[in-house]
Amino acid sequence: MSFTAGFAAMEVTVRGILPIGDTIENVNYFILDTAKSAIVGQVVLPRAAKRSLAVALTVKVPSTAGSLAIGTFDEGGNFQVANFLRVETPVVERPHGAVGPSGR
């Protein structure tokens, strides 16, 4: 059974360009539902890269998630937004043309 059993999920995309630097340790970035102050996802990325490196990762989050932000937590437990990353939610398309019964 999948860990997503019991709730509907949607896929979001984390995009950005990693900072340039010599630090190659990994950092846990948390996706936060800002309306509920709840962690809904996580990605692990290098703290920096030796050259410009774009990232695009797909992550599943609960479909009930509201406004999303990505970042880390400081020593005091305060959420710090990662300004070089963004979370893109899927665009919900509206139905086109006729939908449902015609009523005739």
State pLDDT tens for residues 25-70: 999 999 999 999 999 999 999 999 999 999 999 999 998 888 999 9
For the chain, report the end-to-end CA distance as a whole number of angstroms: 44
Is the pTM higher than 0.85? The answer reads no
CA dist 34 and 47 (Å) reads 23
Strand locations in 1-103 (E): 9-18, 26-33, 38-46, 53-62, 68-73, 79-81, 85-88
53 within 8 A of 45, measured Cβ to Cβ:
no
Q: Is 49 helix (H, G, I), strand (E, B) or coil?
A: strand
Average pLDDT over residues 18-28: 89
CA dist 77 and 42 (Å) reads 16
Does residue 96 have a pLDDT over 90? no
pLDDT at residue 103 in the model:
55
